[in-house]
A and B are shown apart, each in its own frame.
Chain A
Amino acid sequence: MYELINVSKSYGKNQIFTNLNFTIESKKFTGIFGESGSGKTTLVSILGMLDQKYTGNYIFNGINITQLGDRELSTLRKEKIGFLFQESYLINEITVFDNLLLNVLDKENKQLIKRIRELMDKFAISDFLYRRVSTLSGGEKQRVALVRALLMNPELIIADEPTGNLDKTNSEIILSYLKSLCLENKTVIVVSHDEKVLKYCDIQYNLIKNGKLERCL
């Protein structure tokens, strides 16, 4: 379970959240919907431990992460959380394989390479392993990004508008796979304004303008 307790966040005078209390249930597909500027990305940053500049507490599977230092947070991010964004955010100048290695820095080993191959096979992109990212299509890049997100076998996957740049077919592939991850005891959070996501959600929240979350499902 992932729990935000009395979390307040502002950018200067712009208050995004005030005493936000919010719980993500484990092993569920949670969808968070909201318009642009409603604070979706800020919420992703907090849930993904990418932003520590807020007040309140964030309990990550029983660990109060607000009390952790940079090293512990980085380790948690690396081992427990997988990120998927609207854009693939891969580095175009290097190969798919090297992009995946960036994820784990210097931990290249046989097991890791085996997992990379498994995931690449799973998403039918194993032929691209040593190709430069710049030669891939948008859908292929997003699948590589998904491989990167899953590489360390994280327990929580946070997807920020994962289908924003994809056609219908690719969107379905990605969302179906994310949904299937819940059956593997993983928790999936998808932040989006895409209605296609709705049908995959176990739990649905709406993020409204004043930084409050309303549960709809």
Chain B
Amino acid sequence: MFVRGLKSSIIALESNLKNRTLFFLLNFVLLVTVFIEILTYKHSIALEPHRYQNFTDDILIVQMHYDSETPYTFSSIFDRKLASIENVLYTQYAINQYIYNKETYQLSVKIKGTSGNFIENYDIVDFYYKTNGLPNVKKNELIYGRVWTNEEYQKGESVGLIYEATAKTIFGKSDATGERLNFGSHSIKIIGILKNTDDIKNYYRTFNNYNLEFVVYTPITYLKSDSLIDYSIMRSYNNDILKEIITNNISEKMYFYEREDVISKTLDIKKEQLSNFYYVIVVTLIICVVGLFQLIKNFINQMTFECSIRRTFGATKFEIFSMLVFQNSFVFLLALMLAIVVSIMIIYAYFYFSYRYVYPYLSYIDINIILIIGIAQLILTIAFTTLLSQKIINTNIIDGVKGNS
């Protein structure tokens, strides 16, 4: 039965091949146009951040002592001397009080400009807890890789641990061990991945009022040579000395670094340009829908004779209706499938030749949008066919046969 029905449908398709071919081609062109526009738009926005690779907004580096007993240290910013957390907090508080007369100012390092692999800005905090070498902040749990060894710690190797969410965001996979995280002048090899914990952000926010997206744990020894502030800061709480040091060192090196946010600016411009393109897509979609309506209308009008012949020889109204819906849907689906394949090929070729640097990231792009549009158009095709086929179904049969309808 099914084979017979299929064969009958194929004969039905063949009987008006020219019109159906035209219907197919016009649908195909319309769909390809829409898909290419939409994919270009969507890909351009989604891929733009990948220009900069390993893109992320903020990062907090937590340096870990390997074997210290006393919890604290705050030395990459201030010095390498041990101090209590209270002291650290006090120092920060004091600096803020002294310079800005406000308690909430964030002591942070901002990287100026960008380099190839970069993180837009980062803050460095030096922590210490000892629990089998793992950063013991809110019960961290290692899910991939390892923590640094004593030897790595002693040598101050550029190795680090990140959270799984960070790995996914930056590297697109959970197990990012072996990857290198590059930012500023730093290049840290990821040796371990920590299980995500919701508390971590709150922890840092509470502790130091940080509001950062990502955290990298490194041995405290790694940034030893990168100390930005003189040792003497922690040695004395004399405000005059502090003022002098801050004025001479910190202020220029840290606080008054102006961040040249090239990336945000570029993204904003790009988004603005693409938002104009969005209107073009909307117009194209409208044209596509109107075009589809006209196509179906013409197609059905040209089917009047054939349908009337079929009616004359015994086809019911429902059979005619089913045939029209089947034919239009079938031809549309063929056009849709080809359009999807061709559109994706064109898009990939376009990005390959025009934006080669983002080409490896194309696989990240969600192309479900074309399926959604395709299904929507298919539903419209069926709806329009249902609507427009009423005329052909209810026409006087003999007029249809003789071409008088």
Contacts and interface: CB of A to CB of B under 8 A. Distances in A.
Interface in B123-177: none
B310 A102 contact: yes
A77 B314 CA distance: 5
Interface string B393-405: 0001110011000
Contact of B4 (A48, A53, A106): A106
B313 A93 contact: no
Contacts of B4: 106-108
- Count class of interface residues, chain A: 20 to 34
Given A44-B398, A91-B15, A93-B18, A78 B313 contact: yes
A137 interface: no
Given A74-B315, A94-B14, A105 B401 contact: no
Interface in B296-314: 305-306, 309-314
Interface in A85-102: 85, 89, 91, 93-94, 98, 101-102
B11 interface: yes
Contacts of B306: 91, 102
A48 B397 CA distance: 10
Most interface-central of A71, A94, A106 (chain B CB within 10 A): A106
Contacts, number: 87
Given A74-B316, A78-B314, A106-B7, A94 B15 contact: yes
B184 to A, nearest CB: 71
A45 B398 contact: yes
A148 interface: yes
Contacts of B309: 89, 91, 102
B315 A105 contact: yes
Contact of B401 (A70, A89, A94, A108): A89
Given A51-B398, A85-B401, A148 B313 contact: yes
Interface in B315-353: 315-319
A148 B17 CA distance: 22
Interface in B1-29: 1, 4-5, 7-8, 11-12, 14-18
Contact of B14 (A53, A83, A93, A148): A93
A172 interface: no
B314 A105 contact: yes
A173 B220 CA distance: 108
Nearest to B16: A93
Contact of A70 (B14, B316, B396, B402): B316
Contact of A93 (B1, B17, B318): B17
A98 B11 contact: yes
Contacts of B398: 41, 44-45, 48, 50-51
A36 interface: no
A215 B146 CA distance: 108
A45 B404 CA distance: 14
A79 B314 contact: yes
B397 A50 contact: yes
Given A74-B316, A83-B313, A102-B309, A51 B11 contact: no
B19 to A, nearest CB: 10
A111 interface: no
A103 interface: yes
B313 A103 contact: yes
Contacts of A103: 313-314
B330 to A, nearest CB: 16
Contacts of A78: 313-315
Nearest to B309: A89
Given A93-B17, A98-B14, A106-B4, A51 B396 contact: yes
B86 to A, nearest CB: 88
Contacts of A89: 305, 309, 401
Contact of B317 (A70, A75, A94, A101): A70
Contacts of B11: 94, 98, 101-102
A71 B316 contact: yes
Contacts of A50: 311-312, 396-398
A106 B397 contact: no
A75 B318 CA distance: 13
Contacts of A104: 313-314
10 contacts: A51-B397, A77-B312, A77-B314, A78-B314, A83-B312, A93-B15, A94-B15, A102-B15, A104-B314, A105-B310
6 closest A-B pairs by beta carbon, nearest first, are A78-B314, A50-B397, A106-B8, A74-B316, A106-B4, A103-B313
Given A93-B14, A105-B8, 11 more contacts: A48-B312, A51-B396, A74-B311, A74-B319, A78-B314, A89-B309, A98-B11, A101-B11, A102-B12, A103-B314, A104-B313
